Chain A
Amino acid sequence: MKCVRCLHDTAAKFTEAPDGSGAWEVYGCSRCNFTWRNTEEQEVINPELRDKNFQFTGEPEDLQILVPVPPLKK
């Protein structure tokens, strides 16, 4: 399934409404970690309508690390 943010085929449904009402389902992307509910506004969950500033077009490994992984202590 395609992620609505990074557009890679790395998304899947992972849960649904806990009260059994079928009110909504939740999807998540294992690549960019975006998650969404199928009842949200179309401009949030439809890639065609999403604000391009909030799409992810880069590579995850290129993102900045704010707390660097330290050298191992011997």
Chain B
Amino acid sequence: MVYRDLRSFLTKLEDAGQLVRIKDSILPEPTIREIGRAATDLPNGPAVIMDNIKGMKGMQVALNVHGSWANCALMMGLDKNTTVRDQFFTFLDAWDKYPGEIKNIDSAKAPCHEVVIKDNINLFESIPLFRINKWDAACFLSKACVVTKDPDDPDNFDTQNVGTYRMQVLGKDTVCIQALGFHDIARHITHAEEQNKPLPIAICLGNDPVLTFMASTPINYDLSEYKYAAAINGIPMELTKALNSNLDIPANAEYVLEGEILPRVRVPEGPFGEFPGSYSGMRLQSIFKVKTITHRKNPIFENLFMGRPWTEIDYLMGLNTCVPLYKQLKETMPEVVAVNAMYQHGLTAIIATSNRFGGYAKSVAFRLASTPHGISYCKNIILVDADVDPFNLEEVMWSLSVRVRADKDVIVIPNTPGMPLDPTSFPAGMGNKFIIDATQPTAPDGLLRDTRLIDNPDSKGFEKIIADLQAAAQKK
């Protein structure tokens, strides 16, 4: 886990056979989206770099950098064939090393400041922008680390927010940003607007893969994404100061767009093909003006293709949705052994837990539904026993098949908070909770008929022997 920047990770991916380059001359639309879809559909799909895009000579686009379990494993310093369950527990161990160290780099020496553009800003001249999905309203920045500070608490490093939000490019120097009510950035916007002040913002594109990963992780408001990225990467997070504000930005970003969110202004935004696999509607959203663009020499524009799941965003929001939910549950319910909330940022989640007494697993579901993220997102909650791997859907379906009593173990709680981008949320922001308890009933709950499970023989030793024999057979 030693990636200081996007470039060092791309080198690692290339060395591991997980990065390819498209050299053919291509049009930005529709070809880039076709390439993004193809890369993520392939088994262990690679990252793709395109550098021969018509009208954009000399510019580079990188897609699908996080877009397979192999790439995610390499990001965490693991062998590319590591199972998802093992990736979850590796991430969990690294998570506990918070806070990692911060290293401040002199602004004049920061790679992200190698090229500075302050006059005649034109985003289309600096960045190879493209329309991600066909009916998107414009070109979107979909994989940036967006940095803001709380104007009511401007010296607090930890409440400085680093988040990933979709941004629609409106013109040469204007960009619209989607903030939803429960996003941390919405607090900052609201505090600035209460004082009728512009809010400084930095859009950092092309970062080390762990920072990008943490920017889309639902952590508590007063915990620092930078310190988490440092903890998980195992090396200090290198930051520098923005040129026009007091914001701390990643010193090794490929691009940084600095600007200000205009107070008390909302403009039409969307639609945009979103993570549930459907288009969001049009809404009125905040707007910012770009005042400075800085970038590294020969910058790489990293963006995210997202289509009907699964695509890269499902990997990017997979394990980092699972781990914080697990940690929050574990604080009060130590019986929980693993959480798989990889489905559309946790809209569906599977929890493996011991059933301490009758009905206990259902209480675990209620706890999940009251975590900060779970309140809006976790609507379908499945409980399985501690000896079931929630990342193994065959085992989960087995539990549903043999451990669910529909009259006792299925609960619907109507009219709860919902996730506005979920197409079933109506009105947008309202929803319900659907709980399936697929754990074995425990006393005093009525026990299932006396059933004896088949014991698994001790087969681990033979797994390796057979796998080695198979690998040898495949080489013939």
Mark A residues whose CB is within 8 Å of B.
5, 14-19, 21, 23-24, 26, 28, 31-37, 39-41, 43-44, 51, 54, 56, 60, 63-67, 69-73
Which of B35-43, B49-57, B337-345, B392-400 lines the interface with chain A? Answer: B49-57
Closest 8 pairs between A and B when the two form their complex, measured CB to CB: A17-B55, A23-B55, A19-B57, A18-B125, A35-B138, A73-B194, A23-B54, A54-B135
Contact stretch, chosen from B9-17, B283-291, B312-320: B283-291
Q: A63-B282, A72-B196 are in contact. Are A33 and B186 (CB under 8 A)?
A: no
- Nearest chain A CB to B24's CB is how many angstroms away? 15
Nearest-Cβ distance from residue B198 to partner chain A, whole angstroms: 14
Residue B170, interface by CB 8 Å:
yes
In the docked arrangement, what's the CA distance between A26 and B28, Å? 12
Do B268 and A67 touch (CB < 8 A)? no
Q: Across the A-B interface, how many residue pairs have beta carbons closer than 8 Å?
A: 121
Given contacts A21-B55, A63-B283, A72-B196, contact A41 B134 (CB under 8 A): yes
Is there a chain A Cβ closer than 8 Å to B334's Cβ?
no
With A60-B268, A63-B283: A37-B29 Cβ-Cβ less than 8 Å: yes
B256 close to A (CB within 8 Å): no
Chain A binder among B174-182, B247-255, B368-376: B174-182
Known: A18-B55, A19-B56. A65 touches B190 (CB 8 A): no
B residues near A26, Cβ cutoff 8 Å: 124
18 cross-chain CB contacts under 8 A? A5-B137, A15-B124, A17-B56, A18-B124, A26-B124, A28-B170, A33-B170, A39-B28, A40-B30, A41-B29, A43-B134, A44-B29, A54-B279, A60-B268, A64-B428, A69-B193, A69-B264, A72-B194
Q: Which B residues lie within 8 Å of A54 (CB)?
A: 135, 271, 279
Distance, CA A39 to CA B193, complexed state (A) = 40
**Which residues of chain B come closer than 8 Å to A17, judged between CB atoms?**
54-56
A33 close to B137 (CB less than 8 A): yes
Q: What 4 additional pairs, Cβ within 8 angstroms, besides A34-B137, A65-B266?
A: A19-B57, A24-B54, A39-B54, A70-B190
How would residues 341 to 357 of chain B score, 1 for a CB under 8 Å from any chain A CB and 0 otherwise? 00000000000000000
In the complex, B171 has a CB within 8 A of chain A: yes
Closest A residue to B180 by CB, please name it.
A66
Main secondary structure of the interface of A (DSSP, over half): loop
Interface residues, chain B, CB within 8 Å of chain A?
27-30, 54-58, 122, 124-126, 131, 134-135, 137-139, 168-172, 176, 178-181, 186, 189-190, 193-196, 264, 266-269, 271, 279, 281-286, 420, 428
Known A34-B137, A34-B138: A56·B57 in contact at CB below 8 Å: no
Known: A19-B58, A33-B138. A69 touches B266 (CB 8 A): yes
Pick from B124, B195, B283: contact of A64, CB below 8 A: B283
Residue of B nearest to A64 (CB): B283
- Residues of chain B contacted by A72 (CB below 8 angstroms): 194-196
Q: Which residues of B contact A66 (CB under 8 A)?
A: 178-181, 283-285, 420
Nearest-Cβ distance from residue A72 to partner chain B, whole angstroms: 6
Please state if A67 and B186 are interface contacts (CB–CB under 8 Å): yes
Give Cα distance in the complex from A62 to B193, angstroms. 21
Residue among A5, A31, A33, A67 making CB contact with B190, cutoff 8 Å: A67
With A34-B138, A44-B29 in contact, do A65 and B271 touch (Cβ < 8 Å)?
no
* Chain B residue nearest to A60 in the complex (CB): B268
CA A54 to CA B136, docked complex, whole Å: 9
A15: nearest residue on chain B (CB-CB)?
B124
Report the bound CA distance from A33 to B272 in whole Å: 13
CB <8 Å contact, B180 and A67: yes
Q: Which residues of B contact A60 (CB under 8 A)?
A: 267-268, 284
Flag if A70 contacts B193 (CB, 8 Å): yes
Closest beta carbon of chain A to B195's beta carbon, Å = 6
Q: How far is the CA of A23 from the CA of B420 in the complex (A)?
A: 39
Which residues from A are CB-within-8-Å of B137? 5, 32-35
What distance in Å separates the Cβ of A48 from its nearest Cβ neighbour in chain B? 16
A40 touching B135, Cβ below 8 Å: no
B194 pairs with A21, CB closer than 8 A: no
Measured CB to CB, the closest approach of chain A to B142, in angstroms, equals 15
Instruction: Tell me if B268 and A63 are in contact (CB < 8 A).
Output: yes
Least CB separation from A20: chain B residue: B57
Q: Complex formed: what's the CA distance from A72 to B186 in Å?
A: 16
The complex places the Cα of A19 from the Cα of B52 at a distance, in Å, of 12
CA distance A61 to B30 in the complex (A): 31
Q: How far is the CA of A60 from the CA of B287 in the complex (A)?
A: 15
List the B side residues contacting A28 at CB < 8 Å.
138, 170-171
Candidates A31, A36, A39, A64; contact of B284 at CB < 8 Å: A64
B267 touches A33 (CB 8 A): yes
Q: What CA separation (Å) do A43 and B134 show in the bound complex?
A: 9
Known contacts: A15-B125, A73-B194. The answer to whether A51 contacts B27 by CB under 8 A is no
Please tell me if the beta carbons of B124 and A65 are within 8 angstroms of each other in the complex: no
